[in-house]
Amino acid sequence: MNALLNPTQVEIVNTVTERCDSCGAAAKLGVRLSGGGELSFCGHHANRHAGEIAKMANRVLVEAGFAWTGSARTA
């Protein structure tokens, strides 16, 4: 069973410099997976997969000003 993130594991950063691993757009969210590895998502894909990200990540970097719908799932 995967635990949900603690609020301390979600960090607001000034900028996410990566590109979305799904579509190549500018990333708004960076994720370190609990099983290893890292992924980056644009705003669209970050919100589309918010539930899965919250379950599988052990650290999330959210760009300042981006309203990630997964934040409510990590509290």
Confidence at residue 47, expressed as pLDDT on a 0 to 100 scale: 97
Report if residue 69 sits inside a domain. Answer: no
Report if residue 71 sits inside a domain. Answer: no
Residue 2: DSSP 8-state: P
Number of domains comprising the chain: 1
Domain extent, residue 31, equals 7-64
Global pTM value:
0.84
Three-class DSSP labels, 21-69:
CCCCCECCEEEEECCCCEEEECHHHHHHCHHHHHHHEEEEEEECCCCCH
Report if residue 73 sits inside a domain. Answer: no
pLDDT digits (tens, 9 = 90+) for 6-49: 544 899 999 999 999 999 999 999 999 988 899 999 999 999 99
pLDDT digits (tens, 9 = 90+) for 43-66: 999 999 999 998 889 999 999 999
